[in-house]
Chains A and B, each alone.
Chain A
């Protein structure tokens, strides 16, 4: 067996982290994307820019601020301590929050594009048929935006799997809690365990290719992420 127990646990942890993050982001990202797609508010620009920030910021910037904010003297740290949760650095929950911030634009932007592409017309028709806004969202918008949701989920998941810098800065490299695949590979390389590094890195390469193939191979998908 080329992969040992610690490698497998890193893989499992990564899958868990990426799944949870994607779910969380679909829940948070959908209303944000909807608002961005529909609003005429002057805040549209600034909010859109904030959502896109993780595309541009180095992970070290996000990791650095999270390390300070989630620490015992930071504002998130104060809140979590007041709630009796302790601090979030070096914890799985902390990684989920970090990943959610890091992958936010990869979920919001495809959704926003999908919502924009739907346009006003189907919504107006639904309204004349007396569909309530909620009804309209679930029976008209969701099915029409389905390719957008698929793209958002794939990208959110894949981008979280590929995360490294943020985890490195707030994770503390703890087995079964914060040692994800990317960090495990880094560790193997540093310890000159090239054989194990090869197996994990190769698996990541194949996985990433398959994900992108799934994404670009969907011939009729209209809502591309752009």
Chain B
């Protein structure tokens, strides 16, 4: 007798309740810019492997503090490569598990159509009130945004106009609600299948900032978890790669 998907889901639920739920559940700390892709990946991952992915979203620096203080994350998808490397050197990760799962792209975005030109001249014209960025101390995309302003020699001119979100999601939120006319966001937040989904954007050339290499690592808490290993394998696979690319990341 074929088992229908809802019945299968119910079975899965019972199984999860009956056995140790930890065994096939993986707790993942996900950099905020990767929110949409990991949700899409999680669906396939759960369907293909039967493991369950539980994600928390936030700024990379914030996760570092939490992980150092005993947060129960088993896998860490960071927005940079330095934070996972730091955790590795401090012995908080599974040796050899670190790899780059995506290379991020920065975008200057406005919720208004036609507000941002294709060369980012709107930044130099300086006709806006607020420029939203993520906190450069905690979020790699925020740091990249300050590097871009530096390269364009606009640091001084924009100083009084910068508003900071605590992570890239809040930087995006300030722009999407119209409170800031402009903001540096992750391309993945406004991009799907080859085009910008709303408003107008300038995709910032990669030579204006250090590459945003986003590394993943299995944390100490996940060293015995089959689900954690499966997730890392899955992220390296072709199915995940296609999804990651569709959100505007390089690989």
Contact = CB atoms under 8 A, between A and B. Distances in A.
Interface in A39-76: 67-68, 70-73
Interface stretch (B12-20, B158-166, B190-198, B220-228): B158-166
Nearest to A90: B163
A8 to B, nearest CB: 19
B61 A174 contact: no
Contacts of A190: 59, 61-62, 65, 135, 137-138, 166
A189 B163 contact: no
A192 interface: yes
Decide if the interface of chain A is mainly helix, strand, loop or mixed: loop
Interface in A149-179: 168-169, 172-174
B129 A86 contact: yes
Nearest to B60: A190
Interface string A87-106: 10110000000000000000
A89 B129 CA distance: 11
Nearest to B171: A172
Given A168-B166, A189-B65, A87 B179 contact: yes
B91 to A, nearest CB: 17
B138 A191 contact: yes
Size bracket, chain A contacts: 20 to 34
Given A191-B61, A191-B138, A192-B64, A173 B164 contact: yes
Contacts of A67: 173, 177, 179
Interface string B27-62: 000000000000000000000000000000001011
B76 interface: no
B130 interface: yes
A164 B19 CA distance: 41
Contacts of B249: none
Given A71-B178, A72-B178, A192 B61 contact: yes
Nearest to A193: B137
A168 B61 CA distance: 17
A87 B130 CA distance: 11
A192 B132 CA distance: 23
Contact of A90 (B64, B135, B179): B179
Contacts of B138: 187, 190-191
Nearest to A190: B138
Nearest to A67: B177
Contacts of A90: 130, 163, 179-180
A137 interface: no
Nearest to A70: B179
> For B137, B174, B177, B180, which residue has the most chain A Cβ atoms within 10 angstroms?
B177
28 contacts: A68-B177, A71-B177, A71-B178, A71-B179, A72-B179, A73-B177, A87-B129, A87-B179, A89-B179, A90-B130, A90-B163, A90-B179, A90-B180, A168-B166, A172-B130, A172-B164, A172-B165, A187-B135, A187-B137, A187-B138, A189-B65, A190-B59, A190-B62, A190-B137, A190-B166, A191-B138, A192-B61, A192-B64
Among all A-B residue pairs, the 4 with the closest Cβ atoms:
A172-B163, A173-B164, A191-B137, A190-B138
